[in-house]
Structure 1
Amino acid sequence: MYLKLRFKIIGIFLLGSVFISAQKPIYKNPKQPIEIRIQDLLKRMTPEEKFWQCFMIPGDLDNVPKGQYSHGIFGLQVSAGNLGDGVAGQLLKYNANEDAEKLAKKINAIQKYFVEESRLGIPIIPFDEALHGLVREGATAFPQSIALAATFNTDLMAQVSTAIAKESKLRGIRQILTPVINLASDVRWGRTEETYGEDPFLTSVMGVSFVTSFENKGIITTPKHFLANVGEGGRDSYPIHWSKRYLEETHLIPFHTAFTKGKSRSVMTSYNLLDGRPSTANHWLLTEKLKKDWNFTGFIISDASAVGGANVLHFTAKDYDDASAQAINAGLDVIFQTEYKHYKLFMPPFLDGRISKERIDDAISRVLRAKFELGLFENPYVSTKEIEELKKLNHKPLAEEAAAESFVLLQNNNQTLPVPETVKKILVVGTDAVDARLGGYSGPGNKKVNILDGLKNYTPNKDIEIMYSKGIDWNLKEFTTISNEYLTSENKKGLKGSYFSNTDLKGNPTFEKQDEQFNFKWTLYSPNPEKLQPDNYSIRWTGKLEAPDFGKYQLGLRGNDGFRLYLDGKLLIDQWEKLSYSSKTVEVDFTKGKKYDLRIEFHENRGEANLELIWNYGLQNYQKDFKEALDLAQKADYIIVTAGIHEGEFQDRSSLSLPGNQESFIHEVAKLNKPTTVVLVGGSAIKTTTWKDKVGAILDVWYPGEEGGNAVAKTLFGVENPSGKLPVTFPIEEGQLPLTYNHHPTGRGNDYYDLSGEPLYPFGFGLSYTTFEISNLQLNKTQYSENDTIIAKMNVKNTGSKTGSEVVQLYVKDLLASVSRPIIELKGFQKIELKAGESKSVTIEVPVKQLQFLNEKKEWTVEKGTYRIMIGNSSKNLPLKQNIEVL
């Protein structure tokens, strides 16, 4: 009897055990609190699985055997890959031919693998770029970020970001690596186009409008680059030595606002040094400021390949795993690399104790919290219904509206714009009339409309002839890289490269490889960081050069010196001494089809190498294009010159002038004394000093997006009235830079001995086809406490003859402070549309707490005293002023 009873009890126990084990783990139970689910999952994870939740890469399951992902991963940038070589590669390429439905289904398939076949079933976060539109086939390309800022319209920004968020989520994207909320403190910076301008307030409110739309739709936003990605001289990712007071009161403000008001759940670090430490491994920045002071509960990711920069760029880490340990210990949560195989370099400190279990678990908890909040454990897939909805989306009208609102009319002498109805023959000149450039971090766009097509779209039923001539080119080239179709080595395209770990080509090469393209930019690292030091190597290339034609051509090398070129054994170029960056060419009399023995030697002893094999074969006849355009201009009633600049990541500008032969053409065409409008295309300040008074109108259209051509045409003909305002200051000369409107008072004057300190076009400036009058400023009171709100009311009247919009801007000046304050600061604005003769009241509210700054003790305070409220339509035109007291 006892034995039977015992067996019964054991049986019941075993059945109960089976029942319990069959239950879902706590972390998979959506009814459990998120923090409980996190802790349950953490206990089940191996150290290796924890590492993989801290590792993100571009790619998919096509290029890595599925079994290698059994440990899971943080997330993937699907159908993207490394553009460049090595662990330090920082740029990515995308599959632009994969339409929305294919991408959504591919992400579903990838997600299915991780949910069903990885050990713990942790879903991934599919991430992507979406600066001004998702960078994918079929996604709408809106105007570039700087253009959206120029609208000074936060409601419009919210509409644009909502559209981008919808297009992203319906494809399965659940994190975007945007927006860029760095301040464009120096317009020479090549990435100014990606920002919302130079002002902390404008950047903050635009940033909040952008990120809120995504976060509300369950997409994590990742403001970047934390912190201050522009250094001295406007150079990208240069070291920052600014005081913490300055950073707190300027560059940190947009980030703090994005986290507290926009609810961004992630942030990306920058490549640069901040106070001697890489941003990716800066304990003050990531832990003390962000996580402790601001109580940030989201996760911090590095920029692509930035962690290893501590080793190969900043020399503050002895190797990659040391860089990994330093970054995670400083507060970084997720390492962003560009290839799967890089994990071997960054995993060791996660396993050997150099990173504490507490720090690892904190990083993992932040990642898992986001995945739980997104609902990925319950709903990881894009549904068929959502894919069908995606096909029906049409945001082209919104793209055109955003473009039209962003255009800034810089000059309009003699009412050159709108184009008069009497004009019957218009000449359009310039490559930017036909190229429809979208700017950096852009997808391909949907049926992009260029400026020339926009003009033709607008005028088909009008008695107006539109002529076009290329005429000019911002990308004018004297030489071009020699294509690999003319280079061979051992019956392979390109040249054979022998790489030596010394600077004099001695001994046996460390390695050899076939280099198909001869245009090298090893500015961040050596040709192979694992085998060569960036400042101690040499290379010999050998092969054949086939002459494409008969005739005399210039052949040579362009780079940072330290090179030689031999043709058929004869030394033609000998620039072995390292001096600077230069181009060296010689004239060669080619025989078509002949294959010449080619040998090139190069050495690098200081890093940042550049080398390009060049010639002048096949280049366009620019002089012929120039003359043809001038000849056509004589036949035209009206001339539209489209002129643009070259900029972008790794492409800072030393000159703000129009590149190529664009300015020369403007000077020449102006001599015809015909009404001429210059349409500027670019994402930053452009110097117009030498030619602006020779033309009638200047319209800055930025990078206006896929519907930009139609918006430009309607603006030129007066259907749309320009209402954009400058989010950056345009200087008279480069020597004034950096130049921002909100600088601090100087100890002496503000001028140069040979130039004014004033800008050419100030922050907030922008003309209209009509005129406005702002009057009758009334404040709700004149004395305020710290918790009050300043309510400013004023009348705005359209005193012209056309409907138009004006941006009323409110600035504040602290008249006496314990520490120096900016001469003025933007604190509010309101955009209003008025019909001709119409008048309306405008209200701008400013919480008094927005007047706070860091006192001498580095404490945030609203200091008692007198402040001046100033109202106008630019930072240099503020006719309405009234003092207030803060008690």
Structure 2
Amino acid sequence: MLLRQSEVPLYRNSAAAVEERVADLLARMTLDEKIAQLHAAWLKLSADGNHKARSIDFAQSANQITVDEILQHGLGQITRPLGTHTVDPKEGVRALNELQRKMVEDTRLGIPVMAHEECLVGLMIKDATLFPSPLNYAATWNPRLVGEVGTIIGEQARSIGCHQGLAPVLDVSRDPRWGRTEETLGEDPYLVGVLACHYVKGLQGERRDLLATLKHFVGHSASEGGRNHAPVHVGPRELNDVFMLPFEMAVKLANAGSVMPAYHDVDGVPCHGDRALLHDTLREKWGFDGLVVADYAGVDLLYSHHAVARDSASAAALAFNSGLDVELPGHECAVHLKEALERNEITEATIDTAVSRVLRVKFELGLFENPYVDPERVDVKSAAAGDTAYQVALESAVLLRNEGNVLPLNANGAEKIAVIGPTADDPLALLAGYSFPVHLINSGEQSTASIATPLRALRALLGDERVIHAHGCDIIKERRAGAPVFPGDVSLELTGDAHCDELISKDTDGIAAAVEAARQAGVALVFVGDLAGLFQSGTVGEGSDTDSLDLPGVQQALLQAVVDSGTPTVVVMTGGRPYNLGGLEDRIAAQIMAFAPGERGAEALADLLVGRANFSGRLPLSVPKSAGAVPYVYNHRLKSAGTPIAYHFGCRYPFGFGLGYAPFRYADLALAHSEVPIENGTIELSFTLDNLGSRDGTEIVQIYVRDRHASVARPVRELKAFARVPLAAGASARVRVKLPVDMLNFTDARGERIVEPGDFDLLVGSSSRDIHLSGTVTVAGAATRTLERAWRMLSEVEIEA
């Protein structure tokens, strides 16, 4: 029966103010209905409404309640409705619509459900575009292109009814042994922050009708020993200056809609239970107005691992008192909030605050007016999306060495080319851990037949008759689950006896054939690296940490044998972390770091190898000399090297480094002013860049700053500006940089960002090590300045051809 206008509840009036709608709906809700909005459900949805619960080791296993019981009072979010299992996207949307129908029509208040999906390297669902890894995003040093990736992923997500994407990862890389290094945007907080802002703006769109999720808040990448979920030992200054800066930028500059706390503890305080972090800093200090959502099972870990809560009810109370809004992926703890309320561990007012935020977002997203999605408008793969994936792969491949100019290869010559190695003909080697095929690696459900491998791409360019192929060795002979427990933490009862099945192949039988292939060729291309896989089902990825930066398995032996053949050897490394080559770095002809270049990565690599395109990628993280040099980052403090400098300290290839087929010259540095005021001052500098080569090329100009004297020890240098500068052969450009004085800040003992007067060195280079021009500017002021909330976070670079 239709209601008369006067009988329509205020919360259903789309013309009413959002806050009025929230207040009206909240006043109508029972406690059960409120709690239902504070958690998700992980279900295998069906278009016929016969939804099944997904119960696994770390989610929904402790609460054996029926699907109908889960849904009877409504639901805050549905976890990965299309990404949980292999389902045709249109069929997945029909199933999501059926769940939405149940929420809207069969519950008392008809509150729609939000759907979230993983989207770090594209939607993590069947048939969606498989973009390169975040390390590739960062290696482009191209914010505009990263924003384009975010826009495409956002459009695809909207087409399947997704309301929240669990990306980007803003963890600042600090230890490449950490398996999730592949998910990061590198080791510099400013580079991470700039790229994150563009990704978030692209994903969310101008209306923020899809929420980006900043994760993992905060310091996850600085874990003890590079081990997954391990404690973090950093002081409050370093935490703010290095790890929190990208989050602050994405909140203030990109209006990020959601934040996800990290699993670990910082100085004994787990992030999911840290009110100073989730409320005082995030909301009060920065002005964040979105949702704080738990990392999967993160609330339960407060009880089951961290032991800072006595049971699930206490864990829920601690998390929601600290500022959490939604428990993901299921209902392990939130359903016990009634018990916590009865024990006075939480108040209904606190629950109401979280519920209000959830409802506010649902109203702002327009869910009440448009809860359903048209299955016929699903669009998760297009030629344009593929072209963007190709462009990221092309701009992110880093040429580290090219002795004797062995590259580019002659595309029209007669010389034989040997294509060797375990990753040369494996499509999975091109993909990052949060791509759909890798995420379902153990199911065998997802085909990668449509993804061209480097071998296929090179045969297409050079001709079958010129390419000699030899596999050489395996990294992993059989892809299968390998983790003893989730989430990668060995439990107390397993300590001492725990072990995983040995996944890494030690078989060297194929090396002889690889050597013979190399001897028959004029150049040997050896493809090595790692394979992404969750929780030790691969050699890199979440829970797949390592204790070494040696190539996994027998790849070093393969490479050694090929180099010893005497054939000029080009190493093409793919994967999620940098590896060493066991001393062969000085014997190989060339080396390329391609990271995980995605579904079009092989095509991009082939074009670069034969010179159809020029290399322009630059390292977003340092390549430490060995695991003994870890942690090593370019922006360390002086005494990190030891006294005297430890022989293993440092890196062969530094942050920002990369070569191309064209040399560049930096000249004529000019400072607009030698002195700038500490209040609202802007440092202005310019220099000339010349392409001295016979080929068009792109240089990545980088501006670093060193604080000559400060009240606390400061990094040896910090990136403060950068830009891609494309120049035709023989062309020149004038590069002009504007750097706000605000960006010279660091954190004081109060936790405030301050700028101190004094002298600062300006270093212009092509990497953090290769500095070509330098000057000094004085920041003038009578006293230290404390920055306001809206401090200037971005520099500007203009190119005048």
> Could you list the per-position Cα deviations for residues 69-108 of structure 1 after superposition, in whole angstroms to 9, with x for gaps in the alignment?
131111112446xxxxxxxxxxxx7323x23322233222
> Could you list the per-position Cα deviations for residues 754-779 of structure 1 after superposition, in whole angstroms to 9, with x for gaps in the alignment?
x1533111100011111111212223
Q: Which amino acid aligns with 1:741?
A: Y
Q: What is the alpha-carbon distance in structure 2 between the residues aligned to residue 222 and residue 610 of structure 1?
A: 34
Q: What is the alpha-carbon distance in structure 1 between the residues aligned to residue 730 and residue 711 of structure 2?
A: 46
Q: Which residue of 2 aligns with 1:687?
A: 580
* Residue 825 (str. 1) matches residue 710 (str. 2): no
Q: What is the alpha-carbon distance in structure 1 between the residues aligned to residue 384 and residue 752 of structure 2?
A: 49
Q: Which residue of 1 aligns with 2:474?
A: 473
- Structure 2 counterpart of 1:76, from 54, 75, 78: 78
Q: Which residue of 1 aligns with 2:321?
A: 329
* Residue 250 (str. 1) matches residue 242 (str. 2): yes
Deviation at 1:140, TM superposition (A): 0.6
Q: What is the alpha-carbon distance in structure 1 between the residues aligned to residue 602 and residue 659 of structure 2?
A: 20
Equivalent pair of 1:48/1:351 in contact (CA under 8 Å): no
Q: Which residue of 1 aligns with 2:353?
A: 362
Q: Which residue of 2 aligns with 1:224?
A: 215
Deviation at 1:807, TM superposition (A): 0.2
Q: Which residue of 2 aligns with 1:732?
A: 625
Superposed, 1:256-655 pairs within 5 Å as 256-338=248-330, 344-345=335-336, 348-350=339-341, 353-383=344-374, 386-387=377-378, 394-421=384-411, 422-436=413-427, 437=429, 438-444=431-437, 447-460=450-463, 465-475=466-476, 521-522=484-485, 535=492, 580=496, 609-610=498-499, 622-645=507-530, 646-655=539-548
Long gaps (5+) in structure 2? 54-66, 438-447, 531-538, 781-801
Q: Which residue of 2 aligns with 1:31?
A: 15
- Structure 1 counterpart of 2:198, from 198, 204, 209: 209
CA shift in 2, pair 1:263/1:764, >3 Å: same
Deviation at 1:32, TM superposition (A): 0.9
Q: What is the alpha-carbon distance in structure 2 between the residues aligned to residue 393 and residue 804 of structure 1?
A: 26
Q: Which amino acid aligns with 1:72?
A: G
- Structure 2 counterpart of 1:777, from 640, 648, 669: 669
Q: What is the alpha-carbon distance in structure 2 between the residues aligned to residue 72 and residue 419 of structure 1?
A: 61
Q: Which residue of 1 aligns with 2:140?
A: 151
CA shift in 2, pair 1:53/1:880, >3 Å: same
Q: Which residue of 2 aligns with 1:114?
A: 103
Superposed, 1:120-139 pairs within 5 Å as 120-139=109-128
- Structure 2 counterpart of 1:57, from 41, 45, 49: 41
Q: Which residue of 2 aligns with 1:791?
A: 684
Q: What is the alpha-carbon distance in structure 2 between the residues aligned to residue 767 and residue 621 of structure 1?
A: 34
> Could you list the per-position Cα deviations for residues 672-715 of structure 1 after superposition, in whole angstroms to 9, with x for gaps in the alignment?
22121010011112113411112100001100000011011111
Deviation at 1:632, TM superposition (A): 1.9
Q: Which amino acid aligns with 1:827?
A: K
Long gaps (5+) in structure 1? 1-17, 81-92, 482-516, 528-533, 537-559, 561-577, 582-608
Q: What is the alpha-carbon distance in structure 2 between the residues aligned to residue 665 and residue 620 of structure 1?
A: 13
Deviation at 1:523, TM superposition (A): 6.2
TM-score (norm 1): 0.79
Q: Which amino acid aligns with 2:369?
A: E
Equivalent pair of 1:429/1:640 in contact (CA under 8 Å): yes
Q: Which amino acid aligns with 1:157?
A: V
Q: Which amino acid aligns with 1:634?
A: R
Equivalent pair of 2:506/2:554 in contact (CA under 8 Å): no
Equivalent pair of 1:523/1:610 in contact (CA under 8 Å): no
Q: Which amino acid aligns with 2:656?
A: G
CA shift in 2, pair 1:624/1:258, >3 Å: same
Q: What is the alpha-carbon distance in structure 2 between the residues aligned to residue 40 and residue 393 of structure 1?
A: 46
Equivalent pair of 1:426/1:464 in contact (CA under 8 Å): no
Determine helix, strand or coil for the equivalent of 1:797.
strand
CA shift in 2, pair 1:57/1:393, >3 Å: farther
Q: Which residue of 2 aligns with 1:94?
A: 84
Equivalent pair of 1:684/1:728 in contact (CA under 8 Å): no
> Could you list the per-position Cα deviations for residues 831-879 of structure 1 after superposition, in whole angstroms to 9, with x for gaps in the alignment?
0111111111222322221111223554322211111111111000112
Deviation at 1:354, TM superposition (A): 2.5
Equivalent pair of 2:170/2:247 in contact (CA under 8 Å): yes
Q: Which amino acid aligns with 1:457?
A: A
- Structure 2 counterpart of 1:105, from 64, 72, 94: 94
Structure index of larger Rg: 1
Equivalent pair of 1:192/1:683 in contact (CA under 8 Å): yes
Equivalent pair of 2:487/2:543 in contact (CA under 8 Å): no
Q: What is the alpha-carbon distance in structure 1 between the residues aligned to residue 468 and residue 246 of structure 2?
A: 46
Deviation at 1:525, TM superposition (A): 9.4
CA shift in 2, pair 1:743/1:112, >3 Å: same
Superposed, 1:868-887 pairs within 5 Å as 868-887=761-780
Q: What is the alpha-carbon distance in structure 1 between the residues aligned to residue 609 and residue 4 of structure 2?
A: 74
> Could you list the per-position Cα deviations for residues 87-130 of structure 1 after superposition, in whole angstroms to 9, with x for gaps in the alignment?
xxxxxx7323x233222332222222212222111111110000
Q: What is the alpha-carbon distance in structure 2 between the residues aligned to residue 213 and residue 813 of structure 1?
A: 33
CA shift in 2, pair 1:793/1:674, >3 Å: same
RMSD over aligned CA atoms reads: 2.5
Of 634-643 and 146-155, the range deviating more from structure 2: 634-643
Determine helix, strand or coil for the equivalent of 1:50.
helix
Q: What is the alpha-carbon distance in structure 2 between the residues aligned to residue 409 and residue 807 of structure 1?
A: 13
CA shift in 2, pair 1:788/1:795, >3 Å: same
Deviation at 1:752, TM superposition (A): 4.2
Equivalent pair of 1:188/1:234 in contact (CA under 8 Å): yes
TM-score (norm 2): 0.87
Q: Which amino acid aligns with 1:793?
A: S
Equivalent pair of 1:776/1:795 in contact (CA under 8 Å): yes
* Residue 744 (str. 1) matches residue 747 (str. 2): no
CA shift in 2, pair 1:820/1:716, >3 Å: same
Q: What is the alpha-carbon distance in structure 2 between the residues aligned to residue 52 and residue 624 of structure 1?
A: 58
Q: What is the alpha-carbon distance in structure 2 between the residues aligned to residue 858 and residue 740 of structure 1?
A: 23
Determine helix, strand or coil for the equivalent of 2:508.
helix
Q: What is the alpha-carbon distance in structure 1 between the residues aligned to residue 641 and residue 758 of structure 2?
A: 25
Of 837-846 and 743-752, the range deviating more from structure 2: 743-752
Q: Which amino acid aligns with 2:197?
A: V
Larger proportion of strand? 1
Equivalent pair of 2:505/2:553 in contact (CA under 8 Å): no
Equivalent pair of 1:274/1:282 in contact (CA under 8 Å): no
Deviation at 1:720, TM superposition (A): 1.4
Q: Which residue of 2 aligns with 1:860?
A: 753
Q: Which residue of 1 aligns with 2:790?
A: none
CA shift in 2, pair 1:99/1:393, >3 Å: farther
> Could you list the per-position Cα deviations for residues 201-243 of structure 1 after superposition, in whole angstroms to 9, with x for gaps in the alignment?
0000010010111221621011101111131211222112311
Determine helix, strand or coil for the equivalent of 2:284.
helix
CA shift in 2, pair 1:157/1:526, >3 Å: closer
Q: Which residue of 2 aligns with 1:545?
A: none
Q: Which amino acid aligns with 1:42?
A: L
Equivalent pair of 2:130/2:598 in contact (CA under 8 Å): yes
Q: Which amino acid aligns with 1:197?
A: G
CA shift in 2, pair 1:443/1:273, >3 Å: same
Q: What is the alpha-carbon distance in structure 2 between the residues aligned to residue 747 and residue 832 of structure 1?
A: 33
